[in-house]
Amino acid sequence: MMEKYLPYILIAPSLAYLLFFIGYPLAQGLYLAFTENGAFSLENIEYLLNSPFSKFWEALTDTFLLVLVIIPIQVAIALGLAMLFNMKFWGRNTALYLVILPLTISDVAAGLIWYSMLSTNGFFNKLLMNIGLIKEPIYFFGYEYRPMEFLAIVLTEVWRATAIVFVILFAGLQMISQDHIEAAEVFGANVWQRLRYIVFPMLKPSLQAALIIRTLFAFQIFGVVWVLAGRDIPVLAGEAYYEQVQLRHTGVAAIYALIIAAISVTIGYIYIKLFRAQYLEEGG
């Protein structure tokens, strides 16, 4: 009798976790977003889309732009580093520690570090002026310098969060058996052919996981942007914070949260379809 209900007993904790930490907040978010004084209302949607005080469209555009710029750079750098550290060389462990070190720093702390480095009296400007490359400091911050603020955000995020992608890809490379690569060498495959037909296909599950995790975090980017640019460059998570904390528009903040969740789920689904490993497709 116990064996009949054992599967349900085993999954009960997971179901309880999903219902309490995901189901309830989602239901509460929907309620806050589409009700006003206890009745169904689209007032929050109207404010979000048409109010002159709302920066929704600008926040949506800037968030996607940051994701489209940051993620490819991070994946390219992380993949190159993973390939490098997959080889044995002197000082490898120390270098590996230095690459992973930014993971220990919070987004706000990273923003403050780069703000001090890129300010007019910061290390970056002083270095360029001392070696004679510039005569006047480069201005990174201020509404009139929004492209430079955008660049500062990209630099900070690439420095801070590339290690997340690197760790996942590096672990994936460690799981690829050397027997496959050695067999390809025996049959005359060159370096590019080994990468294209052996390493990359077998790295797809790790790449999929890295992209999903990093993209989810990228759409929730807030601390770095808030420290470096404030609302000069509005992002979805920043506007949710502003509407809730500054304006007390709980319903509007809930809509922002639901939009971030919907975008994240959609892109996660796309990643799962695009980067499914070939051997999994053949087995399924």
Predicted confidence (pLDDT) per residue in 160-217, tens digit: 999 999 999 999 888 887 777 778 777 777 778 777 778 888 888 888 889 999 998 9
Tens digit of each residue's pLDDT (9 = 90 or more) over 261-277: 999 999 988 888 887 65
Q: Which amino acid is at 97?
A: Y
Q: Which domain holds residue 102?
A: 61-283
Q: Residue 251: which CATH number?
A: 1.10.3720.10
Q: Output the pTM of the full model.
A: 0.88
pLDDT of residue 2: 67
Q: Could you tell me if residue 36 is inside a domain?
A: no
**Residue 186 is encoded by which pair of tokens?**
């025996």
Q: Could you tell me if residue 31 is inside a domain?
A: no
CA–CA distance, 191 with 184 (Å, rounded to integer): 10
Q: Could you tell me if residue 75 is inside a domain?
A: yes
Q: Is 39 helix (H, G, I), strand (E, B) or coil?
A: strand
Q: Is 128 helix (H, G, I), strand (E, B) or coil?
A: helix
CA–CA distance, 60 with 234 (Å, rounded to integer): 8
Q: Could you tell me if residue 107 is inside a domain?
A: yes
Query: How many domains does one find in the chain?
Result: 1
- Over range 122-149, report the average pLDDT: 91
Q: Could you tell me if residue 96 is inside a domain?
A: yes
Q: Could you tell me if residue 23 is inside a domain?
A: no
pLDDT of residue 284: 45
Q: Could you tell me if residue 66 is inside a domain?
A: yes
Tens digit of each residue's pLDDT (9 = 90 or more) over 84-118: 998 888 888 899 999 999 988 999 999 999 999 99
Evaluate if residue 279 carries a pLDDT over 80.
Answer: no
Q: Which amino acid is at 258?
A: L
C-alpha triplet 124, 129, 134: angle, nearest 5°: 100
Q: Could you tell me if residue 10 is inside a domain?
A: no
**Quick one: DSSP state of residue 143?**
G
